[in-house]
Structure 1
Amino acid sequence: MTTDQTLPPSSSVSVPPVPALVASPRRAVLVHPDGEVEEGEPAVLGRRAADLRPLVCHAPGTAARLGRESLRAHDVLELFAFARPARFVLPTAAGLAEALGLERPEDLVSQALVLPRVAAALLHEVTALPGRERSDARSLAFAMARGGWMWGGPVLAALGAQGDAPHAASMVRAFRVWERLTEISEHAPDVPAGNHPVEGGEARARLADLLGPAAEDRPQQADYASAATAAFAPREKRAAPHMVLAEAGTGVGKTLGYIAPASVWADRNEGTVWISTFTRNLQRQLDGELGRLYPDPAEKNRRVVIRKGRENYLCLLNLEEAVSRLPTQPAAAIPLGLMARWALATRDGDLIGGDFPGWLVDILGRGWSVGLADRRGECIFSACPHFNRCMIEKAVRRARRARLVVANHALVLVQAALGGLEDGVLPTRYVFDEGHHLFDAADSAFSAHLSGAETAELRRWLLGAEDGSRTRARGLKARAEELIGESNRAAEALVEVLQGARVLPGPGWHARLGEGGGKGPTERFLSLVREQVLARARGQDGPYSLETEVTPPVPELAEAAAALDVALHGLDLPVSNLMKALEARLDDEASTLDPTTRQRIEGLVRSLDRRVLRPVRAWRAMCRTVGSETPPEFVDWLGIERAYGRDMDVGLHRHWIDPTVPFAEAVASRAHGLLVTSATLRDGSGDAEADWRAAERRTGAAHLPHGIRAAVPSPFDYPAQTRVLVVTDVRKDTLHRVAAAYRELFIAAGGGALGLFTAIGRLRAVHRHIAADMDAADLPLYAQHVDGIDPATLVDMFRAEENACLLGTDAMRDGVDVPGRSLRLIVFDRVPWPRPDILHKARRAHFGGRAYDDMMTRLRLKQAFGRLVRRADDRGAFVLLDPMMPSRLGGAFPDGVSIERVGLAEAVETVRGMM
């Protein structure tokens, strides 16, 4: 078979004369430059293409479908990242074609045929790069070509590169992108925000402006915006914020509904409102919605800031150190060249969920992409030569002057747990969207873990790398020595801190514990923890993490815990002394210290408090209760963390039974106003008052003096638009039957299906069973934990194809926003009961026994069902493959939607009839 591969004519554009390869789980296609088309089994064509270096889209994914570990290929996504840095594209042939204005390919042959045209179009764009960007791109391409980049030759030709390569210094300069970034501009401190309230009419008027005159009439949205204004009233008493719990049914439009009063308050009072979400995906959606408020991009850049933890942003010092290794690692020029192109084009340096393509991590590897972020807390702040150009610091400074800061629960709560933001300041006005996740976010932020990984990481932060590896983790001595000045007291304390750090696990701790040994008091304690877990935990032959109660401890564990408490005191005391000595220097030399040194000292004191003193004191408190009674507000347990069947960590864990207690103290009571909102705040027990009380317990409102409740119903006609089916004849513990049910239901719907699972292992097993059949039915199948693509990108791919299907776990249950026919069926593998672990056992006893289990399960079903209908013309079915679904969980679904118990055959026919 032959076909035409017409390319746009250009003397400087030369697409490599290699075949184009695409593959599905069942079939692969290889289209040669002369137009010949080969079709066959993926493994067969994979062997044929192994030495051809074909054109592909997403080489790691293609290799996986071919049954190969890797594939040497011309990945068109790499060329896209070079030509269009910091630009979005779906990592599929169809996504590339649409991004470049080419006809969308519908089958494997047309997908293969479009790849050379995509490559030609991208090379044409490279020919048009202007001025300095063109010069830099040329230098980068030379270095990348020397490192073995397959696109090096075509890109250099497109750039008109002739003769010898640029001088070595020019190539190095092209990688040193930090030199061309703008510096942070300093501003005078802002005046405190005012306290003027927002009236309901003002919120409605701002909402109308945001929607525009052509918008449909949505009275529920206006009612919601008016109710939200109560969170922006002036506070009347200390520690008594105005807290509004607002449940907004799907379709109300709560995002613009709270942006309206929040923006009015921020403008009027010249203050900042922090809008916090649970998922990065919603942060991205919010950023898009705020374009309505600030249509001018420059004004939006001033008024709106996206904030995440430091571990999400490119660290320029990490990038510089990676670039410094180029002389001995020439192949590193390939990933670093693509990172350099992105770094100059990015809006804010956000590597996770920002304008950095998630698929680029798969292609470059984590070490050369997200690994360049400060993921280990090694930031040296103002001691860094790039501090005045730091992308993180820019976001922090901009957030101080912004009107709206879009953050996430993890950042907001962790910062609060540590006493405030980077400058010790706490916001006064919050909007917590996805408020049903506040309990879990607080649970994570306010917990403590005396584990091998946590303690070894602290030792590394204090002592630096001890195993000879090349890293900038030079330890506390290198960071603090020049800040000590003439203070003998500080110098002595520093020596004692470094000595005290040696009680923590050193390099090789994991192997020593695995052999039943241990060196030093921390490793000795952890070795005994491991012994107790292995002696008592169930399920040791499986791949999952293990846990057991602390009491009664095995012989010597309590003694080892007491010894560790004493040893940690030898770290606690000198750290306190060092902090006091540094603070004394700030006082004693107040008139002579330059601003930079003062700032560095203050930053080091904060770091010592947050990174050392707080965790060490939490660990000591935990040690003191081993062998006695855990304080009643906490639950402790011992655990071995496993991943991929291997032991990864071991330790003693402490969580609050009710984590909204510290949330209320550290966040809510210090604020003036909070709006906590979600489509799923209340339980569906049937008792309206009990349902509101459950929402108050889950959000911390129960621990505050007073709160305001508001509920705005969904405008959708759920009984007419949806069906809920419980399949009664599929055994949930027989995976091949579960897989068959997924296959038949997905095919009956013609795609547009989301499959949800309570366990990763079940998801993978179902995927193995149905992948080929789905491919035979021409229904693309994507899967979290299988495809090696980040969840947000998978959702984007799923959304873009009306007949695609997606398998996922918890992240998909909450993180999918797919209106229209791209999502018309949800299939859940079984009732999502809470996992019966030690922590849940304690909370179950505290919050009401079986009723707590039911509430948790109803909320999960409610959240999953909420993915199904996102706009007024959506229709769909929710199917649960669990005959043991109790009727008391029916409150998870909207009023009027009844649960129909049917056999699989009837469910399949019902789904087919709805589509």
Structure 2
Amino acid sequence: MIPYPALHASHGGIWIADAEGTRPVGRGEAIRVAADTPVILLNAPLIGQRLGYAELSGLDLLELYAFLHPARFAVPTPAGLARAVDLSAPERDEDVAAFLREATAALLAVPEGDWAEREGAWSAVQSLTRLRWPWAPVIGPRLAKPRTDERWLFSRLPEWEEDAPRPAPRTVSLQPGEAEERLAKLTGGGAEERPGQRAYAAAATAAFEPRVMRDAPNLVLAEAGTGIGKTLGYLAPASLWSERAGGAVWISTFTKALQRQLAQETTRLYPDPVLRRERVVTRKGRENYLCLLNLEDALQGGFAGRAAVLAHLVARWAAYSADGDMVGGDLPGWLPTLFRRNGPAALTDRRGECVYAGCPHYRKCFIERAARASAQADIVIANHALVMVNAARGREVATRPTRYVFDEGHHLFDAADSMFGVALTGSETIELRRWILGPEAGGRGRRRGLQARLSDVASYDDAGAQAISDAVHAAHGLAADGWLGRLAEGQPFGPVEHLLAAVRGLTYARAEQPGDAGYGLETELAEPTPALIEAAAPAAAALDALVRPLTALGRRLEAVLAEAPDWLDTAARARVEGAIASIGWRAETVAAWLALLARIGGPADGDFVDWLAVDRVEGREYDIGLHRRWLDPTRPFAEIVLKPAHGALVTSATLTGGGDWSVAEARTGAPHLARAPARFEATSPFDYPNRAEVLVVTDVKRGDAGALANAYARLIVAAGGGTLGLFTAIRRLRAVHGRIADRLAREGLALHAQHVDPIDTGTLVDIFRDDPAASLLGTDALRDGVDVPGDSLRMVVMEGVPWPKPTVLHAARKLAGGGTAYDDRIVRARLAQAFGRLIRRADDRGAFVMLSAAMPSRLLTAFPPGVAIVRVTLDEAVARVAERLSTQARIGHEAPAPLETP
């Protein structure tokens, strides 16, 4: 018998279950019981939020599951947990509390059976007992002490091995028809004939032909509608080329969801899991992977309290993880969200402080293992940001890819915009200060400054030591801890803080409006005040005093490599190369800051857009600074990524964004290449006219939160859930959620929300996908990155036309890009992406609802041809949704409503 009660709270009520049964309770009693007695919970932060008791803690079953089954995912809901522990799921909310006790018994029985993750558990519980983890006294007695010493994490992990450098890819040509033959093998015998997919594979082959001119890659732009089968379509020629040329093809995506999907699709290429791990590698940025040195520090006292508990659960996971990826890998996305502190970020290398071969865990490092594996792989699944970072400042020059596939290619413009932008802000400068100086004023943790990290390799002569000393001295001119408070009090310290104070003053003077909502402020960098001009000169001098020693230190380390002293073995050389890359990145950043400061009081540069900003959330300032973006960020993308490549395929279901090919070319960098791209287009095979309709609701008043919430509630009830609600503002999302969550719960319909529920976005989508009666509210991330086929997503509701935010940057690009036509292109692309969430396979059905009477007819070309588009009242929309989505048999037999003429 389980001696603890279980507590469950939802928008439909609160229940407590104990040995005597289940009873409903009020909020006050639930909080009292939870405060006085250890209670069994499922996702304590979520239950605490529903109770209005942020400090709620107890025996969280998700933590127990993560301890017993590290690197195994379970949907963090009663139904998901039931499947994970092989129990029947509770059918009603009031049954959940009793089920939690039953699930507890099932999990506590795991050590008694054939338990695959037994190794390391006993040792971990000893440490967790000292940390007073609530589950430790419960699970501890059930774990038998090993007869022999357990191999602890750092000895259990395998070491990677050095491989001989890979030769450059051979020059090969794929013959006509070969890609189609490989595609037939991948799809398997008896598969449905897809002419569009075959044509797509043939067109994609052109990206793998030999290059005929320097700086002119074979660029193929391919728009393939949902359902064409793009993934296998480009994997066919990519795998053929890789096998014959002996080179790697890098497939780049924008979302982690597509990375996971691609990894699954490669099982068709390499069914043998051992061979697949060798031939297919998923790569992400360094900040995604667990740093073993940071973990060791956390386990040895660097973390305290709940953060220390997280560290031990992560250590359990690391011993069984396939790749050490903490963001989108096999670490359950819900695990870090159970801990309120920012512990996960401290367990990765987010600050670029890696010492490479100087680390005692270097030979076991997840990051280094992934880098070496990708150098020998045939297919590397990466993301747009990593591809651009590696091309701009990566260490892996010898293994730089010559062939790329950019899936989700419509996001290349935004990814390049972020990658090649410059931000001289308080948060950026303080991070640089910490990277150089290390902990100040008694700071904790293993972080070390430049002196501690590099003194042994840089002091090969006096020049290196002097460069470090000069950099440390100059870093004191950067913003320091407490800078925001000093600026608010009018007491800046040092040249950079004085610059930020002038930026803050000018931004408030020009950007703040009466009745301002408390969100971010910005103003263009034009006609600067004397105060800003006067502050810029000392700040530029301070930054110049910093960039000079950093540059000198980088050159000194390059000399160390060239002179190759006796102690510089392969591992030490890797350490020096890593330090050179890291220092070079910082030096380039400071140089870009100096270029931005030169703009103050000087002439504008037509290639860039510059502005000042005060970043705020609900009135609270969190950053201040100057920003610079390329007017056309595809220029550096084409120069740094595309031109050195031999071939690239850029593909998406919405590459033209509802416009023409000139839009696709402009947003992928094609105009900056000497050779024109090849084009390919294949429309979706789905029967959109009979499987979907677009309803434009005309009587929901803009700005009326009550009317908007009522519309969402009625539509979701009519559809029986299965709704993705998309918002253009977090504030309105929260307002709608707060008004309708309880109402939907009374109808038995769960409602989840991004920016409301304390759950990461990926897990929210998993929860949504798992329950056909659930609905999910969210913003841009859900509009572009959700793949939920089947009944779980049968209606998309947008609260308004997704106009671009009127920022300084957008205004400049709008002026250069054709005015209103530029806005229209962006909106059509967003509408096309949102509609694309609705029909993901041939038997899907659904309704797309736009709650905006002001929806311009000219934008309706964003939707597939033939789809019924009608303007209706809310009552009519509710009736049509109920009719369309309640009886599947009617789908395909009704005549569509007349099309509105765009």
For the aligned pair, the TM-score class normalised by the smaller chain equals over 0.9
- 1:615 offset after TM fit, Å? 0.7
Partner residue, 1:720: 690
Paired amino acid for 1:245: L
SS in 1 for 2:319: helix
1:317 aligns to 2:267 (yes or no):
no
Change (3 A) 1:718 1:421: farther
1:813 aligns to 2:813 (yes or no):
no
Partner residue, 2:220: 244
1:150 aligns to 2:120 (yes or no):
no
Q: Find 1:752's aligned residue among 699, 704, 722.
A: 722
- For 2:798 and 2:486, locate their aligned partners in 1 and report how far apart those are by CA, in whole Å: 43
- 1:593 offset after TM fit, Å? 3.4
Paired amino acid for 1:214: G
SS in 2 for 1:699: coil
Partner residue, 2:817: 847
SS in 1 for 2:667: helix
Partner residue, 1:16: 2
1:54-133 equivalent positions in 2, closer than 5 A: 54-128=39-113
Is the contact between residue 746 and residue 805 of structure 1 (CA under 8 Å) also seen in structure 2?
A: yes
SS in 1 for 2:724: strand
TM-score scaled by length of structure 2: 0.95
Change (3 A) 1:330 1:747: closer
- For 2:114 and 2:844, locate their aligned partners in 1 and report how far apart those are by CA, in whole Å: 44
- For 1:130 and 1:75, locate their aligned partners in 2 and report how far apart those are by CA, in whole Å: 21
Partner residue, 1:389: 364
- For 1:825 and 1:588, locate their aligned partners in 2 and report how far apart those are by CA, in whole Å: 65
Change (3 A) 1:30 1:242: same
Paired amino acid for 2:669: G
- For 2:134 and 2:438, locate their aligned partners in 1 and report how far apart those are by CA, in whole Å: 38
1:726-745 equivalent positions in 2, closer than 5 A: 726-745=696-715
- 1:207 offset after TM fit, Å? 1.6
- 1:591 offset after TM fit, Å? 6.4
Q: Find 2:664's aligned residue among 695, 700, 704.
A: 695
Is the contact between residue 458 and residue 553 of structure 2 (CA under 8 Å) also seen in structure 1?
A: no
- 1:526 offset after TM fit, Å? 1.1
SS in 2 for 1:369: helix
Partner residue, 1:26: 12
- For 1:862 and 1:359, locate their aligned partners in 2 and report how far apart those are by CA, in whole Å: 30
Q: Find 2:845's aligned residue among 875, 886, 894.
A: 875
- 1:153 offset after TM fit, Å? 2.8
Residues 68-105 of structure 1: per-residue CA shift (max 9 Å, x gap):
11323211111111111100100011101012222222
SS in 1 for 2:128: helix
- 1:606 offset after TM fit, Å? 1.6
1:289 aligns to 2:284 (yes or no):
no
1:593-742 equivalent positions in 2, closer than 5 A: 593-610=568-585, 612-685=586-659, 691-704=660-673, 705-742=675-712
Residues 507-526 of structure 1: per-residue CA shift (max 9 Å, x gap):
22222122223222111111
Partner residue, 2:892: none
1:786-805 equivalent positions in 2, closer than 5 A: 786-805=756-775
- 1:333 offset after TM fit, Å? 5.4
Partner residue, 1:688: none
Residues 304-359 of structure 1: per-residue CA shift (max 9 Å, x gap):
11111111111100011111118x95766532331221010100000001000111
- For 1:619 and 1:651, locate their aligned partners in 2 and report how far apart those are by CA, in whole Å: 11
Deviates more, 1:361-370 or 1:505-514: 361-370
Query: What count of residue pairs does the alignment treat as equivalent?
Result: 883
Change (3 A) 1:569 1:334: closer
Is the contact between residue 520 and residue 616 of structure 2 (CA under 8 Å) also seen in structure 1?
A: yes
1:219-368 equivalent positions in 2, closer than 5 A: 219-325=195-301, 329=304, 334-368=309-343
- 1:422 offset after TM fit, Å? 4.2
Change (3 A) 1:586 1:194: same
Partner residue, 1:11: none
Deviates more, 1:555-564 or 1:896-905: 555-564
Partner residue, 1:402: 377
Unmatched 5+ residue regions in structure 1? 1-14, 686-690
Is the contact between residue 200 and residue 227 of structure 1 (CA under 8 Å) also seen in structure 2?
A: no
- 1:41 offset after TM fit, Å? 4.2
- 1:179 offset after TM fit, Å? 2.3
Change (3 A) 1:335 1:589: closer
Paired amino acid for 1:57: L
- For 2:13 and 2:581, locate their aligned partners in 1 and report how far apart those are by CA, in whole Å: 58
1:417 aligns to 2:386 (yes or no):
no
Change (3 A) 1:798 1:199: farther
Q: Find 2:525's aligned residue among 550, 572, 579.
A: 550
Change (3 A) 1:562 1:369: closer
- 1:142 offset after TM fit, Å? 2.5
Deviates more, 1:363-372 or 1:248-257: 363-372
- 1:154 offset after TM fit, Å? 3.0
Deviates more, 1:813-822 or 1:201-210: 201-210
Change (3 A) 1:94 1:200: farther
SS in 2 for 1:345: coil
Residues 345-402 of structure 1: per-residue CA shift (max 9 Å, x gap):
1000000010001111121345433431112222111111111111111111111011
Change (3 A) 1:548 1:701: same
TM-score scaled by length of structure 1: 0.94
Residues 38-58 of structure 1: per-residue CA shift (max 9 Å, x gap):
024445434344323222211
- 1:597 offset after TM fit, Å? 2.9
Residues 233-285 of structure 1: per-residue CA shift (max 9 Å, x gap):
11111100011111110111111111111111111111101111101111111
Paired amino acid for 1:291: T
- For 2:234 and 2:415, locate their aligned partners in 1 and report how far apart those are by CA, in whole Å: 21
Deviates more, 1:441-450 or 1:590-599: 590-599
Partner residue, 1:10: none
Paired amino acid for 1:98: R
- 1:230 offset after TM fit, Å? 0.8
Deviates more, 1:205-214 or 1:890-899: 205-214
1:45-60 equivalent positions in 2, closer than 5 A: 45-60=30-45
Is the contact between residue 452 and residue 651 of structure 1 (CA under 8 Å) also seen in structure 2?
A: yes
Residues 519-559 of structure 1: per-residue CA shift (max 9 Å, x gap):
22111111111110011113473231110121111123123
Is the contact between residue 305 and residue 402 of structure 1 (CA under 8 Å) also seen in structure 2?
A: yes
Partner residue, 1:462: 436
- For 2:513 and 2:324, locate their aligned partners in 1 and report how far apart those are by CA, in whole Å: 43
Paired amino acid for 1:702: P
Residues 557-595 of structure 1: per-residue CA shift (max 9 Å, x gap):
123212322222212222222222222233334566333
Deviates more, 1:793-802 or 1:95-104: 95-104
Partner residue, 1:7: none
- 1:697 offset after TM fit, Å? 0.4
Residues 429-464 of structure 1: per-residue CA shift (max 9 Å, x gap):
111111000000000000001111111111111111
Partner residue, 2:877: 907
Unmatched 5+ residue regions in structure 2? 886-902
- For 1:161 and 1:606, locate their aligned partners in 2 and report how far apart those are by CA, in whole Å: 47
Partner residue, 2:161: 185
- For 2:398 and 2:9, locate their aligned partners in 1 and report how far apart those are by CA, in whole Å: 53
Q: Find 1:567's aligned residue among 538, 542, 552.
A: 542
Paired amino acid for 1:77: L
**Superposed CA RMSD:** 2.0
- For 2:207 and 2:600, locate their aligned partners in 1 and report how far apart those are by CA, in whole Å: 43
- 1:161 offset after TM fit, Å? 5.6
- 1:216 offset after TM fit, Å? 1.8
SS in 1 for 2:649: strand
Deviates more, 1:437-446 or 1:458-467: 458-467
SS in 2 for 1:231: helix
SS in 2 for 1:148: coil
Q: Identity over aligned residues, as a percent?
A: 51
SS in 2 for 1:416: helix
- For 2:26 and 2:235, locate their aligned partners in 1 and report how far apart those are by CA, in whole Å: 53
- 1:482 offset after TM fit, Å? 0.4
